[in-house]
Amino acid sequence: MGHGASRSGDSGDSGGGAPPPPPSRLSGLRRRLRLRRHRSGHDAAAAAPPQLKGIDAEDFAGIARIEIVGAEMGFKDRWFACLSIGERTYRTATSDHTEKPMWKSEKKVVLETNGPHIARISIFETNRFSRSNLVGYCEIDLFEILSPDSENNLEELDLFDPSSSSTIVGKISIICYVEDPIETQKSFARRVLAIADFNEDGQLSQSEFTDLMTAFGNQLAVNKAEELFKRADKNGDGIVDMDELAILLADQQEKESLISNCPVCGEILGKYDKMNDMIHMTLCFDEGTGNQVMTGGFLTEKQASYGWMFKLSEWAHVSCYDVGLNSGSSAAYILVFDRKSKRLVEEIIDSKIVLSMRAIYQSKFGLALIDTGAKEILQSISEKQGKRMNSVESAKDIPTFIDFFKDQINMGEVKYPLEYFKTFNEFFTRELKPGARPIACIERDDIAVCAADSRLMAFNSVSDSLRLWIKGRKFSIHGLLGMETCSSAWNEGSLVIFRLAPQDYHRFHVPVSGTIESFVDIPGCLYTVNPIAVNSKYCNVFTENKRVVSIISTSEFGKVAFVAIGATMVGSITFLRKEGEYVHKGDEFGYFSFGGSTVICIFEKDAIQIDEDLLANSERSLETLVSVGMRLGVSNREHPEEDVPRLEKCTLAE
């Protein structure tokens, strides 16, 4: 690049006065920085979402670049792809009408040693008005597919039918590689320096480099600019190659921070350490590959697939798509954290049912209905629906039910083939193949496990549950367990809620090993156990619904209360064990008939140390999707020190 900056030609003005001063090179650089911020994406958060926490050096596994090249589908349509990892989802542009869409769209993601590393790629056929249809998907373990030594790792993967993971519907081509940390720093430095390279010849003069450092607004950078430039200008001609200067700049940035604000999004740096600053700025910059960068800012692939009607509803504040405790009109979408894949997923629920639940459970008018006969109506509906689901005619609803929930019902793990089930309820209470739900640390009775395939909320105390989740008017342990079984030992105990949705495996299992002391039936209503009702201040779902309380006496956790709660459409709770029987953790305990339902386990105060990841999600009012047999927590009773595996730091087998 030449020494001189671009200047306006001399010209007089009609008034004969002095011409306006030409814009300075420094102001030009600052304009270019601002332009980069506007061009970085549809918003700054999409370009480089701020990290929720700093990454420790020992946890930083690298920056992965994932490029979705194209796909081969079985029919012609307009297609787009979504990439989901952790709590972030990105999507490509929409392809032309073809059966072989090409995107060549990429995204960089940070990999942490103990963080999310299962990426899901989903292919949708478009519907620009409402929502698009999921046609195929694949899941990849980035730790397995990526290698620090790989330069251009092209992979061709099978796409599976969401309704049947054994059916292949197409293929997708992706390129993945992990950037070398040193090269990442150099690449970042080159991109910063390129802002001042107006004629793109790969060279900078000293004055241009100094102006660039000044534009960053850091006095240390200004002071170091001359020193760095002279170290790179080995022949003393006042012009240096940008690659050489980038090496020195990256090295200096590692020692002392020269950049106070991210040049792309403007975020203040230095909140954590230099490594985190480098990660943030690297993700902000387009690395100049010539490919299109995927659009970000989505929480789930479902959100990314919604059309303009959904976006209009958000703009009009009719609905809210977010993580955490929602109420009223904001409770239109339920997001849960999948513990196995470590990513957010949207729970599938019919929109008409959402509207009806909001009308009943989130308004004073709905409360009036409940108080003036709605309880009896719900009871009658549940009884009639229960009889219908036990009829032979109901079996024809099974295929439609499976199709509606698509990839959330895995028929490959069901014990019997579809034709075995003669009624809908037989399918609803289906058994699984042996080994489909491995039990964590099965030989250790001091480790409790999850009791159901469900969405879990865990709290160290009842007061925490009231603060973060249960918003009923008069919820209490005494009200939940009833006069006959309640004990003061549970008053400040730990509370674990397992909420089952209709698509789940509806058999519940024993979370701890011990002896069954008693069963107590408590009659009640059949409200829904959906969060829309649980989060409502107008009713007490858990203490008013029909339920059965079982007490399990254990050597490791003291007495544990196991409460099976019925819900709308659930007319039957069936236990398969008897009083006085000794049960092992993971043993089948019983099942719910058709509908949603809930299990609540109450531990005595300080009896259990619940796993940290479950408590952390619950602190955010975020349900965790778990399976039977996953680790729940460890007994607080003293034992010889042993190395107990932590699930949040493991990868679960299929």
Instruction: Confirm whether 597 is a catalytic residue.
Output: yes
H-helix or E-strand containing 124?
strand 118-125
Output the pLDDT for position 493. Answer: 92
pLDDT, one tens digit per residue, over 411-441 is 889 999 999 999 999 999 999 999 999 999 9
The span from the CA of 362 to the CA of 342, in Å, is 31
pLDDT, one tens digit per residue, over 290-333 is 456 888 888 889 888 876 545 554 444 445 676 766 544 344 57
Output the pLDDT for position 555. Answer: 96
Q: Which of 378-382, 476-480, 649-653 has the lowest mean pLDDT?
A: 649-653
Output the pLDDT for position 180. Answer: 66
Q: Which two tokens stand for residue 220?
A: 């240390």
Active-site residue (options: 211, 277, 407, 453): 453
Please name which of 242, 258, 234 lies closest in space to residue 208, comparing C-alpha atoms: 242
The span from the CA of 358 to the CA of 329, in Å, is 7
Task: Check: CB of residue 571 under 8 Å from CB of residue 384.
Answer: no
Output the pLDDT for position 58. Answer: 76
Our CA dihedral for 88, 94, 97, 99, rounded to 10 degrees, sits at: -30
Output the pLDDT for position 466. Answer: 77
pLDDT, one tens digit per residue, over 523-574 is 877 666 666 566 566 667 777 788 899 999 999 999 999 999 887 555 578 9
Range picked from 116-125, 188-197, 280-289, 396-405 for highest mean pLDDT: 116-125
The answer, yes or no, to whether residue 39 has pLDDT greater than 60, is no
Output the pLDDT for position 13. Answer: 45
Place of tokens 């209490």: 476
Domains and CATH numbers, the chain: 57-180 (2.60.40.150), 182-284 (1.10.238.10), 326-342+352-394+441-636 (2.70.70.10)
pLDDT, one tens digit per residue, over 378-390 is 556 556 666 778 8
The span from the CA of 642 to the CA of 606, in Å, is 20
Alpha helices in 560-602 (DSSP H): none
Q: What's the farthest any 2 CA atoms get from each other in the chain?
A: 106
Output the pLDDT for position 263. Answer: 64
- Helices 242-255 + 219-232 axis angle, to 10: 130
Q: What is the CA 462 to chain-centroid distance, rounded?
A: 26
pLDDT band at 139 (very low <50, low <70, confident <90, very high): very high
Output the pLDDT for position 3. Answer: 39
Alpha helices in 585-645 (DSSP H): 612-619
Instruction: Confirm whether 509 is a catalytic residue.
Output: yes
Range picked from 17-31, 267-281, 307-321, 330-344 for highest mean pLDDT: 330-344
pLDDT, one tens digit per residue, over 324-357 is 665 443 445 788 999 998 999 888 765 545 545 5
Output the pLDDT for position 48. Answer: 41
Average pLDDT (643-647) is: 53
The answer, yes or no, to whether residue 158 has pLDDT greater than 80, is yes
- Helices 274-284 + 181-194 axis angle, to 10: 60
pLDDT, one tens digit per residue, over 210-263 is 777 776 666 776 777 787 777 777 777 777 776 776 677 667 666 766 677 776
The answer, yes or no, to whether residue 202 has pLDDT greater than 80, is no
Active-site residue (options: 382, 597, 618, 635): 597
Range 108-130 burial, b when 16+ CB lie within 10 A, else e: bbbbeeebbbbbbbbbbbbeeee
Q: Which of 178-187, 301-310, 582-591 has the lowest mean pLDDT?
A: 178-187
pLDDT band at 130 (very low <50, low <70, confident <90, very high): low
pLDDT, one tens digit per residue, over 493-508 is 999 999 998 899 999 9
The span from the CA of 398 to the CA of 163, in Å, is 13
Active-site residue (options: 95, 211, 509, 550): 509
DSSP string, 82-104: EEEETTEEEE-----EESS-EEE
Task: Check: CB of residue 415 under 8 Å from CB of residue 431.
Answer: yes
**What percentage of residues in the chain have a pLDDT greater than 70?**
65
**What percentage of residues in the chain have a pLDDT greater than 90?**
33
Question: How many Cα neighbours within 13 Å face the side chain of 16?
Answer: 0
Q: List Cβ neighbours of 437 (8 Å cut-off, separation of 6 or more).
A: 453, 505, 509, 586, 627, 628, 629
Task: Check: CB of residue 494 under 8 Å from CB of residue 607.
Answer: yes
pLDDT band at 582 (very low <50, low <70, confident <90, very high): very high
